[in-house]
């Protein structure tokens, strides 16, 4: 009875050699892994996807380093300065209209609304930085970036529920009470490039003196 053709040997009994097509695919795969690894290093993509949350004291002030997100201080019984509901930028006062899902830019002298921009659902906070107004939208889990000197509007999906936002030290900072997370957005690429999950919910966030200050609840 004739033996079925071998998948591992050539006709002369020697091991079958990889074809140019197989070698090309292997080289392409290796190149892709190398490129993705380089991008991850360049963007410092260190997401917190699982594991235990970082322990923090309830009802405290948490101070983080903006680059590494390491805990620098955790002071019981203290709070971060509160973020104002209205912020200034490009000569206007910026607020959010939660009921109508709008960002409003008001002339502080005349009281006239000169910018009225539709944002995501349930906007709860706005921060100014990097030439933009950044709006945290709680209901549809997004950030809206609005150019304060132009008409460009961009939406950033979070897959989370933001409850506060701040800018400073080169980044945009978003907190989520529900998931107990701090998210860091790189404004150059409009992507989250680092996050940390805490054992207690962050209630407010502000950046002062090159440090990220968070009021921690219980």
Range of the domain at 27: 19-47
Report the domain count for the chain.
2
Check whether residue 41 and residue 100 sit in a common domain. Answer: no
- Give the Cα separation of 164 and 182 in Å (integer): 10
pLDDT, tens only, 78-120: 999 988 889 999 999 999 999 999 999 999 999 999 999 999 9
Query: Is residue 155, in this structure, part of any structural domain at all?
Result: yes
Confidence of residue 48 (pLDDT cuts 50, 70, 90): very low
Check whether residue 62 and residue 138 sit in a common domain. Answer: yes
Check whether residue 89 and residue 153 sit in a common domain. Answer: yes
DSSP state of 78: -
Query: Is residue 120, in this structure, part of any structural domain at all?
Result: yes
Among 38-42, 59-63, 211-215, name the one with the lowest average pLDDT.
38-42
pLDDT, tens only, 131-164: 999 999 999 999 999 999 999 999 999 989 999 9
- The pLDDT score that the predictor gives to residue 14 is 45
pLDDT, tens only, 192-204: 999 999 999 999 9
Half-sphere exposure of 55 (CA within 13 A, CB side): 0
Check whether residue 86 and residue 164 sit in a common domain. Answer: yes
Check whether residue 178 and residue 86 sit in a common domain. Answer: yes
Check whether residue 42 and residue 76 sit in a common domain. Answer: no
Distant-in-sequence, close-in-space partners of 216: CB < 8 Å, separation ≥ 6: 56, 57, 58, 59, 60, 61, 62, 74, 198, 200, 201, 202, 203
Mean pLDDT rounded to a whole number for the chain = 86
Check whether residue 145 and residue 42 sit in a common domain. Answer: no
∠ CA 138-144-145, nearest 5°, is: 150
């Amino acid at each position: 009875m004739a033996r079925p053709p071998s998948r591992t040997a050539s006709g002369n009994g020697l091991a079958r050699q990889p074809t140019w097509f197989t070698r090309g695919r292997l080289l392409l795969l290796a190149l892709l892994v190398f490129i993705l690894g380089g991008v991850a290093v360049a963007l410092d993509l260190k997401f917190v996807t699982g594991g235990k949350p970082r322990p923090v004291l309830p009802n405290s002030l948490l101070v983080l380093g903006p680059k590494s997100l390491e805990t620098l201080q955790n002071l019981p019984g203290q709070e971060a300065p509160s973020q104002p509901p209205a912020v200034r930028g490009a000569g206007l006062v910026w607020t959010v209209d939660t009921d109508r899902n709008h960002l409003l830019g008001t002339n502080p002298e005349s009281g006239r609304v000169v910018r009225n921009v539709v944002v995501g659902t349930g906007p709860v906070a706005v921060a100014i930085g990097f030439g933009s107004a950044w709006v945290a939208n709680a209901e549809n889990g997004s950030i809206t970036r609005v150019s304060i000197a132009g008409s460009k509007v961009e939406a950033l999906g979070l897959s989370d529920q933001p409850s506060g936002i701040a800018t400073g030290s080169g980044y945009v900072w978003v907190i989520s009470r529900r998931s107990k997370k701090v998210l860091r957005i790189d404004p150059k690429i409009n992507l989250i490039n680092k996050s940390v999950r805490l054992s207690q919910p962050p209630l407010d966030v502000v950046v002062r003196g090159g440090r990220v200050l968070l009021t921690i609840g219980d």
